């Protein structure tokens, strides 16, 4: 297994409470950091999985299965962004060409 870092952007979070943080921590097995910026809540993951896709899908299932009214609306990953940029550069449509 490899280690992957990614972020899940959440909806349904009006305020980060200790109860919400504890519920999400327990549901995910503790490989998260819960944060908020400009009224947008997000979870940063450091997850072991066979692939980035597997790690993200399992994290989404755990977060949305925590039954705290939270929904994942977007996924971010520096790894995926880097690969997308390299592919765009290879196609001649990125900023590096």
Stated pTM of the model: 0.83
For tokens 């940063």, name the residue. Answer: 44
Length of the chain: 97
Cα angle value 18/41/73 (rounded, 5°): 130
What is the model's pLDDT at position 88?
Answer: 83
What is the model's pLDDT at position 73?
Answer: 95
Annotated domain spans of the chain: 2-90
Alpha carbon separation from 52 to 21, 24, 36, 37 (Å, rounded):
24, 20, 23, 24
Instruction: Please check whether residue 78 is in contact with residue 5, taking contact to mean a CB–CB distance below 8 angstroms.
Output: yes
What is the model's pLDDT at position 74?
Answer: 92
Look at residue 90 and give its three-state secondary structure.
Answer: helix
β-sheet bridge partners, residue 71: 11
What is the residue-level pLDDT of the chain in tens, covering all 97 positions?
999 999 999 999 988 999 999 999 999 999 999 999 999 999 999 999 999 999 999 999 999 999 999 999 999 998 888 778 878 888 887 655 4
| Residue range 2-90, CATH number | 3.30.70.260
């Amino acid at each position: 297994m490899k280690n992957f870092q990614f972020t899940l952007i959440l909806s349904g979070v009006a305020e980060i409470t200790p109860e919400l943080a504890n519920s999400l921590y327990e549901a995910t097995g503790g490989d998260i950091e819960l944060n908020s910026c400009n009224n947008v809540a997000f979870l940063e993951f450091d997850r072991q999985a066979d692939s980035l896709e597997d790690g993200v899908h399992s994290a989404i299932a755990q977060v949305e299965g925590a039954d705290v009214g939270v929904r994942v609306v977007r996924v971010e990953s520096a790894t995926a962004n880097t690969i997308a940029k390299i592919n765009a550069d290879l196609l001649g449509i990125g900023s590096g060409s």
